[in-house]
Structure 1
Amino acid sequence: MSTLYEELRDQLNQEKGAALATVVRGIEHVGAKLLVFPGKRTSGTLGSAALDARVIEDADHATWHGEAGTHTYTVDTSTGTEAYDVFIEGFPPPPTLVIVGAGHIAIPLTTYAKTLNYRVVVIDARAAFATRERFPHADELI
């Protein structure tokens, strides 16, 4: 497995978003990949600093909206203006479900939410209700 995919896997395992951009058409660097993290930190390159800079904004947007699609960019090169098609796939962080009240309805709701890849927080002032035994799948108990 390439380092780029390992970085993406690690980012997603930490429940943080990212976007992966791949050159799918251009005069060169087809298949080159750029991984864009929240805060616009990057790993890899699409083969051109100018192209990387243009793609980062769209990749950051794709991260937060979970979008995927092909974008066309024109970049000035030493031989003229070149067009590139870049496929950008956003991987947003999981949404958070906050359940207020640790009553009997909250138990299956927690299970359903985890099945749908939500981060689940259960809040209840009653310590006897908001327990790990009752909510083994909750990410956080308050």
Structure 2
Amino acid sequence: MHPDDLPDPGTVLRHERTFTVDDVRAFADVSGDRGEHHEQPDEDGRLLVHGLLTATLPTKIGGDLDVLAREMTYEFVRPVYTGQPITCEVTIEEVTPRGDRADLDADIVCFRRDTEEVVLTGGFEGVVLA
């Protein structure tokens, strides 16, 4: 995306995903995080989704905007389990044009679609190049 085409401050961008058991296992393979809580199903047969796997929701939105991230912060508020639809909302807070680039700041909130319970909050800042 060209810096001139970035969304205006106040714009909310959304992405939703339901993580599967295969997603959690693939992330464990890539990350090497094989904590028992990610490999042993709970009493409902679900796996606990890695926090950083949940954090791929806002990175997908940042990727759609072609953001080169400088800083990302996350607070993992509640657990996410496989089979739970999670909605991520990224709110554009600031866009600062700088010639052939633009600095971008955004806030993040991810929540369970069915209960609207917040599971992750945070933000990111980065740059979009022309």
When normalised by structure 2's length, the TM-score is: 0.27
Asked which structure has the greater CA Rg, the reply is 1
Q: Higher strand fraction: Structure 1 or Structure 2?
A: 2
Higher relative contact order (CA 8 A, sep 6+): 2
TM-score, normalising length: structure 1? 0.25
